[in-house]
Structure 1
Amino acid sequence: VQDPNEPGLEGVTVILKDSNGNTIDTQATDPNGDYLFVGLPTNTTYTVEAVPPGGYTPTVPNPSITTGITPDNLDVNFGMNVLTVTLSGRVYDDQNNSGDDEGEPGFPNVDVTVVCDGKSYTVATDGNGDWSVNVPSGSDCTAIQVDENDVPPTYQVNETATPPGIVTTNVTGLDTGFVNNPGSITGTVCDVASSGSAGNGTCDGNLDEPGINGVTVTLVGAGQDGILGTTDDITQTTTTNSSGVYNFTDLGPGLYRIVETNLPNYDSVADVDGGNPDIINRMSGSSIPLLAGESATGRDFEDALLGTPDFAIEKTLIGQDPFRTGDLLSFRIRITNTGDFPITFLALRDTYDTVYLTYAGSTPPSDDNIGDGVIDWSDLTAGQQVNGCGVDLAVNAVCEVVVDFVAKLDTSLLQPDSKTENTATTNGVEAGNLTIPDKSDSARVQVTSPTAVLVINRAATADGDAILLHWETTNES
């Protein structure tokens, strides 16, 4: 029975036979699938047969229908189904790069389009990466297209399915393999304020071009349209490490733009590809896009610090020596910010000789005071509110530390001046996002240990404007 949405089939051969099986007439269906035999005697039995065209199969096993003409019969219909074959394959992750999908995971939800006789048949892979489509038997299948946008961007095709051409039977194994081949982009942001080669766009890695820590670097990649500056761009951000290095990994091939955001007090000088010193568009050499599996290195930015970080350290003895054994004595350590930027990290170490001095305490308190001759403050800035000055050290500001000791042993035998030395050394200073070389200063103190003796025959006499004192010890009597 023909349903309303089932079109007629043109060009089907229909044969009219008598009751003895002799052919009386033959016709071909018109564009609507209709045929008509006219001028036939009534009350006669006929057999009508339809010959299935290529690529079709009848809906009933025998396509002939027997009918009597009494007087007209306009309902002798035949149903034909398209004869189809199945094409199938797999889209898979070729983890061992063998070109064989055995044991390899598949990619789900990847669109596969098969083109046969100019008609496209599109299907999505299942959870195992498998796909299949039915096409009319006898079709000429000329293309198998896999949407690479449905596969992670770091993957590239390493096996393609060959179109089978004219198909009359099922075809399997039309597989497409992808291998993971990620690329990467690496570079350095450096300070060239003191460099003799500033402006060449390359961080040379020497002391004159130190890396800058904490710089924000943004990578913009073209989305599926392959064009930068459109709504499907993909953006990711990172910051430079303590050496000024940044790194982006697991990148697919395509167009990228690297954008640097300067830290405060820095000015842009140059970058590796010229032009705007804050934007790099060229990934390597003359290549603008990142190639499949490429490691683009040396994508450097040169900046210059607008000013100079610096400080001074001074250590002095409080009071006048010599001190007697058992006396409390103190040293003052003053650190002055003489540079152009606040000091944001300030570690200090004080060393002394435990033979002659015993550590008694400090203001602010130290972080390490186990009596081993080394006293440490891990950070005297705002990073250490308890054992520190409590604030970042502003320009021209001073952080003062007082260290107390008890005089322990006579230093009279020490050379060259009968004194023991106490040294304060910075142990890491940061300002303007740079680490400043450490500095130190020392102070010396004399400790005496008087000896008690018995004095006899004491006398005092006037001698003009002077007084003469006379005494004699028991050792001299």
Structure 2
Amino acid sequence: IAGVTTGTSTSPGVTPSAVSGIVLGGGEHSIANNFGEILPVSVAGIVFFDTNNDGIQNNAGDTGIGGVDIVLTGTDDLGPVSLALTTNPDGSFSFEGLRPGTYTLTEPTQPTGTINGITTAGSAGGNATPITTTPSAVATIKLTTPGSRSSDNLFAEIPTNSSVSGQVWMDMNDDGLANGSEPGIANVKVELSGTDIANNPVTRTAYTDAQGRYSFTDLAPGTYTVTEPEQPAGTRNGQTVAGTTGGTATPVATTPSAISNIHAAANQHSTDNNFGEIPQNSSISGRVWLDGDNNGVVDAGEAGIAGVTVRLSGTDSTGAPVTAEVQTDAQGRYSFTDLTPGTYVVTEPTQPADTLNGQTVAGSTGGTATPVTSVPSQIEGIVLGANQHSTDNNFGELRGGSISGRVFKDNNDDGQVDPDETGIP
């Protein structure tokens, strides 16, 4: 401020401050050339991982996030203000040496590996954006009193470093354990759904790799469900098993298979959420035919017998009973497909019309056939593995023959039935 004599003072905000052009006459004194100073204000806070989404840095995992851009905008007594900095390694930041005014803090870019958490206005108040709004900001920070400070402006971020994973596999013995020798099933669709800790709905889709494995990564803490929406081709539903962080798996009788209530905390990895499938890609087939030479071999020219009922019975690898019936086609062929590994019996319950029982022959995977003297004919002890096809389980039949003749009065004893010779009833 220029004194009582003439002079020109610099404007507020111009440094260094000066009073120039002070003109002094003889015996004059220039007094009250004063330099007024204002105590600066400041705005500070921290950006941090909020592992439990409570908006407070109070857990061991709630570490600061360094290198995050923070922008300060607002208006002081000299006009608009715009400043920027990046957070320190511990996530802290501070705008110092500010003139009194009204300010806004903004985090323009969501930190890598996070979703938005709770933003909290600091010690001087202000209006924080809700968790659903990005970019996060604290507006209307009023620092009109010189020397005042707004501290603890908090930008809490939820880490996305959790995961849910598992495997879809052929559970050959239906024990619910992926034992390493049982193959995975590739290209199976698996869906993730649920709600993260910030109440955001989460939906994702993955497909199993060549080993049947799937993984959903970069998840925020939350509660999730994994679902296998479609039964893999060539299988029937087996045991579904919740993983390392627990959950509720659907029973075998329920499809689609799912594991719900999978709780994933920050940096927690729920593994072995597995979907066991029982292979249903094996078969038993054979033929019913007229074995003209009764050698037990389907020779060229020997015809099949159509419309013959063949019955399948047995127990699959899960202990479940299996029964089915088919009829032979025009060539006498029959087939039971989509079978689970197990031990089976094929039976011809009724002897085909106008035939006699011939040789019954066990097929390509072995078994025990009944002898010609036993009816109904059957082949038992047919053992099937996964994707195994037992062929040529055949039922040979013999064409029925006949013997006929006549009892008569041979009047002339010549051994011939003459026209006048009658039969004897």
The higher relative CO (CA closer than 8 Å, separation ≥ 6) is in 2
Query: Which TM-score applies when normalising by structure 2?
Result: 0.35
Query: Which TM-score applies when normalising by structure 1?
Result: 0.32
